[in-house]
Structure 1
C-alpha cells in the first residue's frame, strides 16, 4: 500500500480505516486512563458512557518503580468493549533498559513469532491475572460489539499482543478488532510482525520524532508491524498525517532515525499522556 497524505477523517471508525477523530477523542483518553488507578474518572470525563469493568495491576519484573496494568471496559451507547494497557511512567528508565540488556532475549509468543521476554511476561501476567477472563465475559455478554484495544508506550506493545491473541484464538474475529497504539516500541521479530499483520488491522500512531518508535533497534532483529500513522507536526486539531503501509517505512518516522525526542514520546495530541491520565483527563 502506498503512503498517503490524509486529512483527518470525521466518519465513524472501521477496522480498516484510520480516524483522527477516534484516535484523538477516544483512543488517547483510553490510553491515558490506564495510567490511573481510577480509570473511570477519565472514562467519565472524556467518553461519558464508557464504564470500567476490571483493572488488573501487577508489579513488573524489570521496572521496580512501575506496574504492569490494564483494564477492560464496555460502552453500551457506542456498542464497544475493549482493553487499555498502561505504559511505563518513566520514559528515561524505559530507554535505559531497552539499550542495556532488557531486549537481548526473545521468547516464543504463543500465537506466533518471538517477542521481547519482558513484553511477553508482562502481557501474560496481566492477561492471566484476570484481565483475559473478564474480557471474555464481556465478549459473551456483548457478542456483536466492536472491540477497541489501545495503549501508549509499553502499553502499546501489550495492546499489540492482546489484539493478536484475541484474534488468533477466535475470541473475537479480526473484522471486529480496532487496534490503535501511541508511541509503541518494536514488540517482536519479523515473524511476529508478519503474524500480527495477518491477525489484526492496526494503527501505530507516532508523534514526529518519538524516540520509542525506534527501539529496540532493527539490528537486534525487531520489526514493527503495520500500519504506522505519522504526524510530522504538533498534532494540534486539523493536523495532517501520513499512513504508511510498510512495516518499516522511510516515508514515516524512520526518516528521523538520528533525530529523536523524548518529549514527542510523552506528548500526543497536545496531552502529556501519563500526567493527563493521572489527573483524570480533565
Structure 2
C-alpha cells in the first residue's frame, strides 16, 4: 500500500458508489507496461479462442481465432469443464505465443442464459465462501475454481510449462472469463512463484475480498482490468453497504470511454473511483459485449472466427 489517504465519494447521497476500504486507496506510481495494441490485437483473440471451447463449436473453432494473430501461435489444450453448481460448463484454452515467449490461459465467458442467471442469483444473495488460497470469494467462483482443478487444469498447465520452461504466463478472459482469469491468476502465480504472471481481465465482476486483493498485489507481476464506460457487469455484486463484507476489485483498471480508440484510455490509480469504473450513470449491455470494435457476445452455437 503506497498511500493511506483514501478518496471519499463526491456523491454524498450515494456513498456506496466509491469503496472506502483501504484496498481502494490510490497508489502513487502507475504501471507503464499496458499496451493498447497488445490488448486489441493479441488478448482479444485469446479471448475469442477461449469463447469457442464448447461442445457445440466445430472442431478447430479456437484455432481459427488464434490464426488471426500474426505471431507464431501454438494451441496446446482445450478444456471444456462441467460445472457443479449450475450444471453447465466453462471452457479453458491453454496455448503458446512463441514470439512473445509466453504461455496464455484463456477462460470462456458465459454462453448460457441459466449460467448468467445463476451468477446474479448468487450476487443477490451475497453468498461468499472461503477461498482455498485465502480470504473469501463469491461462492459460484469458488465452485467453478474447484471444478476446473478437478478436471485436470494443473496437469495440463504443468505439461505446457515443462515444454516451454523459460516462458512467462499470461491469464485472460472476458465477463465470467474475466472473473475466473482473476481467480486463476493467483493460483498460477502461487504454483509458479519464479515465473512472471500477467493478468488481463476484461469486464469481469468483483470476485474476492480484501485478502484476495492483497494477495494479487503481492504475487502478480502485472494486473490489468479493462473496462468500457457504460458496462454494468463490473458493478456486480452490488455494494449495498460499506460495512457488509463484499468482494472488491483489484488494481489496475484501464478505463475506456464509449469509443475505445487507441489513445483515449486511462489507467486508474484506484481500483474503483468515480471517474473510472463508475463512469457514466447510464449502463448498457452493448457496452459489455462490444469492445475494441469486436463482438464478444458468447452463445452456445458459435462457429469459426470469420470476422
For the aligned pair, the TM-score class normalised by the smaller chain equals 0.7 to 0.9
Does residue 19 of structure 1 match 2:35? Answer: yes
| 1:82-121 matches, cutoff 5 A | 82-90=104-112, 94=116, 96-102=117-123, 104-121=126-143
Give the drift of 1:32: 1.4
C-alpha contact 2:179 2:204 (8 A) present in aligned 1: yes
Which of 173, 185, 201 is the matching residue for 1:181? 201
Does residue 29 of structure 1 match 2:45? Answer: yes
C-alpha contact 1:49 1:75 (8 A) present in aligned 2: yes
Which of 288, 302, 305 is the matching residue for 1:265? 288
Measure, in 2, the Cα distance between the counterparts of 1:181 and 1:45. Answer: 20
Write out per-residue CA displacement over residues 105-152 of structure 1, whole angstroms, 9 at most, x where no aligned residue: 212222221111211211221233122211112112212112111000
- Structure 1 stretches of 5 or more lacking a match? 5-14
Measure, in 1, the Cα distance between the counterparts of 2:272 and 2:100. Answer: 33
Give the drift of 1:75: 2.4
C-alpha contact 2:84 2:147 (8 A) present in aligned 1: no
Cα 1:281–1:210, aligned 2, differ >3 Å: closer, same or farther? Answer: farther
What CA RMSD, in Å, does the superposition of the two structures yield over aligned residues?
Answer: 2.5
Measure, in 1, the Cα distance between the counterparts of 2:156 and 2:248. Answer: 31
C-alpha contact 2:170 2:197 (8 A) present in aligned 1: yes
**What SS does the corresponding residue of 1:100 show, helix, strand or coil?**
helix
Measure, in 1, the Cα distance between the counterparts of 2:150 and 2:158. Answer: 12
Measure, in 2, the Cα distance between the counterparts of 1:50 and 1:88. Answer: 25
- Pick the structure with more helix per residue: 1
Which of 32, 53, 60 is the matching residue for 2:76? 53
Give the drift of 1:280: 1.5
| 1:119-268 matches, cutoff 5 A | 119-169=141-191, 171-173=192-194, 176-200=196-220, 201-219=222-240, 221-236=246-261, 238-256=262-280, 258-268=281-291
Measure, in 2, the Cα distance between the counterparts of 1:47 and 1:118. Answer: 36
Aligned pair count reads 266
Give the drift of 1:180: 0.5
Cα 1:191–1:281, aligned 2, differ >3 Å: closer, same or farther? Answer: farther
Measure, in 2, the Cα distance between the counterparts of 1:156 and 1:278. Answer: 21
> Highest relative contact order (Cα 8 Å, sep 6+), 1 or 2?
1
Aligned to 1:8: none
TM-score between both structures, scaled by the size of structure 2: 0.78
- Structure 2 stretches of 5 or more lacking a match? 1-26, 54-60
Does residue 40 of structure 1 match 2:63? Answer: yes
